[in-house]
Structure 1
C-alpha cells in the first residue's frame, strides 16, 4: 500500500495534468499506430500499458510536441509507477520525461513532477518491502530528474538501523565496483541531460561520507565496507597491493 504522501503526490499529478493533450499530435507513423497516436489528442483516456511505456521513453523527434505528450501521459504513468503495476522497472522508460525538460515547465507543473519523484523515492527507500528493487527506483528517479542531490538527501535523512540502511547495502553491492572504477554504468546508463555531466563524483563523495556508519549499523559484509572506504582514496591509490593487503576475505 502506498503511503498517504505518495497517494497525495499522485493525486496532485492527476489534478495538475487533468485534461491535458497534445492537440495536433501526429506522432511517428513508423513506431505508433494511428489509433495509438489519437489517444494523445484525447484527454483523460487510459492508454494500454505497452503503449504508455513506449510513449514514456520515446525520443523527442518522434512527436510534434514532446513536452505535451509527456504531460498527457503523466497521470497514468505516475499512478502505475506508484502502485507497482509495471511488471518490472527500467530507468530507460523515464528518459522521455528527462528529455522533456520538465523543470522548465510552468511552476505548478514542475513542482508536481518534482514532488512525485521525491515522494516516490522516499516511499521506496523507507519501505521494508518496496514494490520495485530500490536500485531500480533510484536509477529511475535520477534519470527522470537529471540529478542525484534530492534523492541522496532523503537517504541521508533516514535513521540509522532502519530499512534505508539495508537498501543502501544492497545497492552498494551492485554499484561499488563501478564506483571504484570511476564508471557510470549502470547508475547513469540513461542520463539524458546534455547541460550537466553525470553526477558520478557527487554520488561517490556522498557514499564516502554517509555509507560507513550505515553499513556498520547494518552489519554489512566486511569486504563491502572495505571497498567503500577505498572511495576516499585517489583513483590510483585504490588499486595498490599495499592497500589490498588489508582487505578482509570475501
Structure 2
C-alpha cells in the first residue's frame, strides 16, 4: 500500500472507531478529585454522550490513573483521543501517563467484538500509515511504543516493519535506532512501560534480536551513519566484548570488567 492508500485506511479506521463508540459515557457513579483533576461540571461532561471535550480536559482525563472504571472512560474518549494521537496533539513524554498504557488499562481486547476490532484496526492502520509517511505527525518510534503497550505485544508491529522494506520505512528505522541506540546497548527497553519487569525484558530482547537480524542490510542500503551500523553490531556482542569495543559509545566501560 502506498501513502495515499494507508491514509484512506487510517481515515476509515478512525470513522469506524467513532461509530463503534458513539454514545459511550463514563460510569454514572464515576468520581474524581475536584482539587487535583477538575470540576464537577467537567466530570458531568464525561457522563454525557457525544460531547466534544476541550483539549485540556481530554488530556487530564486520559492521564488520570485513578478512575474507578477505566474501560468506560476509555470508551468515552476514544474517538477524540485517537484523532488527537494521530494528529500529534498528545504529550507522549508526560510523566502522568502513556497513551499505550491507557489502552492496556481499559482491557479493550475483552470488549465486544465490534469495539475490539475497531481498536485493533485503528492501531494497525496508524502504524501502516506512519511507516509510509515521510513526515508523520508522530515519529515511528513513538507510534511503535504506543501500539506495543496498547496491544501488549511487539511482534505484529515488527512483522509489518519487516515487510515494509521501502526507503521511507527504512528511514524511520534509522531514525528510531538513533534514538534507541544508548538504551538498547545498556539492555534497557527504550520506552516507558507499565508492564512488569519480565514483560519489559521480553520486549527488549525481542526488539534487540529483530534489530540485529533485520537492520544491518537496510541501514547499509540507506547509507545510514556509521555509528548506527556499529551500534547494531555491538548489540550482537555481550559483556566485555561490547564494553571494550573501540566503537562503544560510553566513555567509561561498564560491567564487572570495569571493576
Q: Structure 2 unaligned runs (5+)?
A: 250-259
Partner in structure 2 of residue 102 of structure 1: 108
Partner in structure 1 of residue 194 of structure 2: 192
Mark the CA change 1:106 to 1:19 in structure 2 (over 3 Å): closer, same or farther: same
Residue 79 in structure 1 maps to residue 80 in structure 2: no
Partner in structure 1 of residue 7 of structure 2: 3
Q: Is the 8 A contact 1:25 1:40 kept in 2?
A: no
3-state SS of paired residue (1:110):
helix
Q: Is the 8 A contact 1:99 1:193 kept in 2?
A: no
Mark the CA change 1:245 to 1:131 in structure 2 (over 3 Å): closer, same or farther: closer
Which TM-score applies when normalising by structure 2?
A: 0.84
Q: Give 1:145 shift.
A: 2.5
Q: Give 1:143 shift.
A: 2.7
3-state SS of paired residue (1:244):
coil
3-state SS of paired residue (2:32):
coil
Q: Is the 8 A contact 1:99 1:192 kept in 2?
A: no
Q: How does 1:91-130 map to 2 (within 5 A)?
A: 92-94=97-99, 95-130=101-136
3-state SS of paired residue (1:45):
coil
Partner in structure 2 of residue 21 of structure 1: 25
Q: Give 1:111 shift.
A: 1.7
In structure 1, how many angstroms separate the alpha carbons of the residues matched to 2:151 and 2:76?
18
Residue 70 in structure 1 maps to residue 74 in structure 2: yes
Q: Structure 2 residue aligned with 1:156, among 157, 162, 170?
A: 162
Q: Give 1:228 shift.
A: 0.5
What is the root-mean-square deviation of aligned Cα atoms in Å?
2.3
Q: Structure 1 unaligned runs (5+)?
A: none
Residue 173 in structure 1 maps to residue 178 in structure 2: yes
In structure 1, how many angstroms separate the alpha carbons of the residues matched to 2:248 and 2:79?
52
3-state SS of paired residue (2:199):
coil
Residue 146 in structure 1 maps to residue 152 in structure 2: yes
